[in-house]
């Protein structure tokens, strides 16, 4: 074979190699863009559609699995060990549901699928995101802020012209408002990282998004979301000021809390609803404990939930769908709930409290499983928020901490996980924020940068 023939063959091989590398790179770029897009549209879909979010969730899992298979699960074992406590904590609820279902000989239906989504959704997404450059994930996260702005416009159209409480799509006004409160927080925290070449314009847009989302939250007339505001303020102070400078942190916290109080007090409707809540608590005592009022009904549901747990402390009811039937056949005859509660079949099928719902449905294991889902990721986020690491990682840690603590607080007065796609949202974005808050991402020469 002549020298020219060998040279020609070598050039052809080099060309094929370069084309292959280009196609390989283009494939991953395409997958990264698709994944960022899916993350960006999920928040708005979760708020405004009943069916679309589940489809988006499963497509997201499919894209993540494709990335994992293409990379032959490289680093999956080490990453699982790095986050072994979170992975383990997300499995407890699934084990609780499976154990209760085995005890009753009947699978827990929607609650079972929700627990599966929470565990496998979190794990698969977490493993896949390690391959994705962090800037793509940041743009995906900003879909939360955009969803807050668009949803505020949705709320405005629903309340005009009389400014009545909106009948919000896909969720009731309480859940919708809670989501929007968190979306405002994400927009505000994102001021801590820069994504474009125009930092001033970027900051203005993010601040506007936070204000608009907060205004939309106020217009939903939701009281329970305000309970989480002090938590969000403390996380913001830790992010932007730091607790090392405790005097400045204290002043910043007081200023932000005062601003929120001013916003709350500026709304006649919210002031009236706060007074109404106090009056209902006072009136719902002693012989009036079965009174038909928002607060009193919740207390009745709480009592019924605890009673269900006492009867079945380890296995619970075996399925959340049995809650209403048990209230009608057991709680009502005992006088734990009033006639109004058992007469509204499509509304009081749960206790308006995520933890109590799990306690009644799956006993102490279910309660502990959900509590771990909230608290264990908080340990990672809190540690990273207090470390001297790149600011984008601290911002992501703050967003993750606000997500976990926010949903914990929201879930004390509302069943946030009533719909499975809210579980999906929580699982996916806990994985996103854990991945984005990993300081190793921001080291020169590390993958995923």
pLDDT in tens, 158-210: 998 888 889 999 899 999 999 999 999 999 999 999 999 999 999 999 999 99
Residue 2 placed within a domain: no
**180 lies in the same domain as 300:** no
The parts of the chain modelled with pLDDT lower than 70 are 1-27, 287, 344-347, 444-449
Greatest CA separation found in the chain?
104
Q: Which pLDDT belongs to residue 6?
A: 46
Residue 347 placed within a domain: no
Identify whether the C-beta of residue 43 lies closer than 8 Å to the C-beta of residue 399.
Answer: no
**67 lies in the same domain as 210:** yes
How many independent structural domains does the chain possess?
2
Q: Which pLDDT belongs to residue 251?
A: 87
Alpha carbon distance 210, 166 (integer Å): 20
Angle at 263 between CA 209 and CA 218, to 5 degrees: 60
**364 lies in the same domain as 322:** no
Residue 69 placed within a domain: yes
DSSP string, 74-108: TTHHHHHHHTHHHHHHHHHHHHHHHHHHHHHTS--
**334 lies in the same domain as 312:** yes
Burial of 272 (0-12, 13-18, 19+ CB in 10 A): exposed
Alpha carbon distance 192, 274 (integer Å): 33
**237 lies in the same domain as 114:** yes
- Chain-centre distance for alpha carbon 93: 16
Count of beta carbons in the 10 Å neighbourhood of residue 309: 22
DSSP label at residue 418: G
pLDDT, one tens digit per residue, over 149-160 is 999 999 999 998
Please report where in the chains the tokens 């109004």 appear, as a residue: 340
Q: What share of the chain is helix, strand, coil (3-state, %, to 5)?
A: 75, 0, 25
pLDDT, one tens digit per residue, over 74-94 is 999 999 999 999 999 999 999
Residue 136 placed within a domain: yes
Of 72, 117, 78, nearest to 94 (Cα)? 117
Residue 417 placed within a domain: yes
**321 lies in the same domain as 419:** no
- Chain-centre distance for alpha carbon 19: 41
Alpha carbon distance 104, 322 (integer Å): 12
Domain holding 261, by residue range, is 7-276+353-442
The tokens describing 228, both together, are: 């989480």
Alpha carbon distance 409, 115 (integer Å): 20
Element (H, E) at 11: helix 3-48
**422 lies in the same domain as 307:** no
Give residues with Cβ within 8 angstroms of 15, minimum separation 6.
none
Residue 421 placed within a domain: yes
Identify whether the C-beta of residue 273 lies closer than 8 Å to the C-beta of residue 221.
Answer: yes
Identify whether the C-beta of residue 420 lies closer than 8 Å to the C-beta of residue 117.
Answer: yes
**196 lies in the same domain as 325:** no
Q: Which pLDDT belongs to residue 15?
A: 43
Alpha carbon distance 377, 400 (integer Å): 8
Q: Which pLDDT belongs to residue 343?
A: 76
The tokens describing 19, both together, are: 């084309």
Identify whether the C-beta of residue 132 lies closer than 8 Å to the C-beta of residue 438.
Answer: no
**For 170, what's the count of Cα atoms within 13 Å in the CB-facing half-sphere?**
25
Identify whether the C-beta of residue 447 lies closer than 8 Å to the C-beta of residue 131.
Answer: yes
**45 lies in the same domain as 99:** yes
Q: Which pLDDT belongs to residue 14?
A: 43
Confidence (pTM): 0.91
């Amino acid at each position: 074979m002549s020298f020219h023939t060998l040279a020609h063959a070598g050039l052809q091989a080099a060309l094929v190699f370069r084309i292959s590398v280009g196609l390989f790179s283009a494939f991953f770029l395409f997958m990264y863009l698709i994944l960022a897009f899916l993350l960006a549209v999920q928040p708005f879909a979760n708020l405004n559609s009943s069916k679309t979010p589940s489809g988006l969730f499963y497509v997201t899992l499919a894209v993540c699995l494709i990335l994992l298979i293409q990379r032959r699960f490289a680093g999956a074992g080490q990453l699982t060990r790095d986050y072994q406590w979170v992975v383990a904590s997300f499995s407890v609820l699934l084990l609780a549901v499976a154990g209760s279902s085995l005890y009753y000989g009947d699978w827990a239906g929607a609650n079972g699928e929700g627990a599966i989504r929470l565990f496998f959704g979190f794990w698969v997404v977490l493993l896949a995101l390690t391959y994705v450059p962090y800037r793509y994930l940041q743009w995906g996260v900003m879909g939360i802020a955009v969803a807050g702005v668009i949803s505020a416009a949705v709320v405005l159209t629903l309340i005009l012209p009389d400014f009545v409480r909106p009948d919000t799509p896909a969720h009731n006004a309480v859940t919708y408002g809670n989501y929007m409160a968190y979306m405002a927080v994400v927009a505000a925290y994102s001021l801590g990282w820069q994504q474009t070449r125009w930092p001033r314009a970027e900051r203005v847009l993010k601040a506007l998004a936070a204000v608009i989302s907060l205004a939309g939250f106020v217009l939903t007339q939701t009281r329970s979301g305000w309970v989480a505001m002090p938590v969000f303020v403390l996380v913001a102070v830790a992010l932007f000021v730091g607790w090392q400078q405790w005097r400045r942190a204290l002043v910043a916290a007081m200023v932000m809390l005062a601003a929120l109080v001013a916003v709350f007090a500026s709304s006649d409707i919210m002031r009236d609803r706060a007074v109404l809540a106090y009056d209902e608590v006072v009136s719902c005592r002693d012989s009036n404990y079965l009174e038909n009022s928002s607060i009193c009904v919740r207390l009745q549901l709480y009592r019924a939930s605890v009673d269900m747990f006492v009867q079945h402390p380890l296995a619970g009811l075996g399925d959340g769908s049995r809650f209403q039937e048990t209230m009608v056949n057991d709680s009502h005859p005992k006088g734990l709930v009033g006639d109004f509660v058992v007469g509204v079949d499509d509304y009081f099928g749960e206790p308006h409290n995520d933890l109590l719902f799990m306690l009644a449905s799956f006993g102490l294991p279910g309660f502990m499983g959900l509590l771990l889902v909230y608290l264990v990721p908080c340990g990672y986020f809190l540690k990273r928020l207090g470390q001297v690491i790149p600011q984008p990682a601290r911002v992501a840690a703050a967003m993750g901490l606000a997500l976990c603590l926010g949903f914990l607080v929201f879930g004390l007065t509302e069943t946030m996980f009533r719909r499975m796609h809210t579980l999906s949202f929580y699982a996916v974005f806990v994985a996103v924020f854990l991945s984005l808050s990993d300081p190793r991402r921001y080291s020169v020469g590390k993958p995923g940068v």
